[in-house]
């Protein structure tokens, strides 16, 4: 029969869950309604469910709605292999001992995972044969694409989609007021640096000073707004413009000598000159307004819980480094997403 978890079971699950202190950053088919008629089948089964993240965040743990079994389960996040439309490589994994009570259950990841806005990933569950399948009651529309493996992810069958397979899972982390880097010019984006001038891991595309590219980071709180952005790895005295967007282009687009991922309504927040290759804004001691104050003055008020995306583009006047076309006389840092 189709069932909804009782209030007492819900409270028990919450009180015993090690993930209770964390916040859901991405949820698919949340709630306690589930199809009790469907169980997981097959020894050594890996179930992979495809999903996309509209916002950037750092995932620290995951949960599925399951039970009716005892023993060790694992949950992992895998990359998406575009060419094969299947899980690619494992990013991180966590394990827990299943309770037979139907409830939200899961595990912290061995290491946090930074998920890009608009990125496609797979939640991979190594489940116990016969355990409760984490699906909603049957609907009309198709659920998420999913695949299965019985050899540890060496090969996958599927993909499948069905109206009675609306998979239930949660990705958790410290996503309220959080920041997460993204848009790296290190060869991991589908859009390459225009002159194959790839930066080092986690940075923007490389520049004529061969710093390995500029990386944007943030320090300070979002509430109250004391956030300061810093772009490090630029040219020594580069003119630097701090750019904000309310959207994210997860694939990126060529922009000067680099790749730009901020999208939507764009605002030039601050203009600074780098010192020893590093530029920071706002400079509160010099009287700069906070990011939220500056954004509101430019016509883009930031509400609590909303996302904004940031990059810094900076002058690189060396015409021989990445000449026109496809380059130009500026480059751009990696990106930073902020949930306010």
Per CATH, the architecture of 179-339 is what? Sandwich (2.60)
Half-sphere exposure of 195 (CA within 13 A, CB side): 22
Report the CATH number of the 2-173 domain: 2.60.120
Q: At residue 126, does pLDDT exceed 90?
A: yes
Task: Enumerate the CATH 2.60.120 domain ranges in the chain, comma separated.
Answer: 2-173
Q: Residue 60, exposed/middle/buried by CB under 10 A (0-12, 13-18, 19+)?
A: buried
Q: Can you give the three-state secondary structure of 176-232, one letter per residue?
A: CCCEEEECCCCCCCCCCCCCCCCCCCCCCCCCCCCCCCCEEEEECCECCECCEEEEE
pLDDT per residue as tens digits for the range 248-280: 887 899 999 999 999 999 999 999 999 999 999
Task: Enumerate the CATH 2.60.40.10 domain ranges in the chain, comma separated.
Answer: 179-339
**pTM metric for this prediction:** 0.66
State both tokens at 103: 């409830």
pLDDT per residue as tens digits for the range 299-318: 999 998 788 999 999 999 99
- Assign 18 a pLDDT band (cuts: 50, 70, 90): very low
């Amino acid at each position: 029969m189709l069932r909804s978890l009782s209030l007492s079971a819900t409270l028990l699950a919450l009180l015993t869950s090690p993930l209770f202190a964390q916040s859901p950053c991405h949820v698919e088919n949340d709630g306690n309604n589930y199809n009790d008629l469907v169980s997981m089948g097959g020894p050594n089964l890996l179930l992979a469910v495809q999903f996309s993240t509209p916002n950037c965040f750092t995932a620290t743990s995951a949960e599925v709605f399951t039970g009716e079994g005892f023993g060790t389960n694992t949950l992992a996040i895998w990359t998406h292999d575009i060419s094969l439309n299947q899980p690619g490589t494992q990013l991180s994994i966590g394990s827990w001992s299943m309770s037979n009570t139907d409830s939200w259950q899961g595990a912290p990841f061995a290491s946090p995972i930074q998920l890009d806005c608009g990125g496609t990933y797979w939640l991979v569950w190594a489940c116990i044969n016969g355990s409760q399948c984490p699906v909603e009651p049957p609907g009309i529309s198709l659920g998420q694409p999913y695949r299965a493996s019985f050899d540890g992810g060496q090969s996958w069958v599927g993909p499948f989609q069905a109206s009675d397979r609306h998979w239930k899972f949660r990705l958790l982390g410290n996503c309220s007021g959080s920041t997460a880097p993204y848009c790296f010019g290190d060869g991991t984006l589908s859009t390459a640096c225009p002159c194959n001038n790839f930066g080092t891991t986690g940075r923007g595309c490389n520049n004529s000073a061969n710093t390995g590219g500029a990386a944007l980071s943030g320090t300070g709180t979002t509430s109250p707004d004391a956030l300061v952005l810093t772009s490090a790895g630029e040219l020594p005295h580069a003119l630097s413009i701090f750019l904000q967007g309310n959207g994210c282009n997860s694939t990126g687009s060529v922009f000067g000598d680099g790749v730009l991922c901020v999208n939507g309504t764009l605002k030039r927040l601050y203009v600074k000159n780098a010192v020893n290759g590093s530029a920071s804004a706002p400079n509160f001691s010099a009287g700069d307004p906070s990011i939220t104050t500056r954004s509101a003055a430019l016509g883009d008020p930031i509400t609590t819980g909303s996302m904004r995306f940031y990059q810094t583009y900076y002058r690189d006047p060396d015409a021989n480094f990445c000449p026109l076309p496809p380059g130009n006389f500026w480059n751009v840092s990696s990106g930073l997403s902020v949930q306010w």
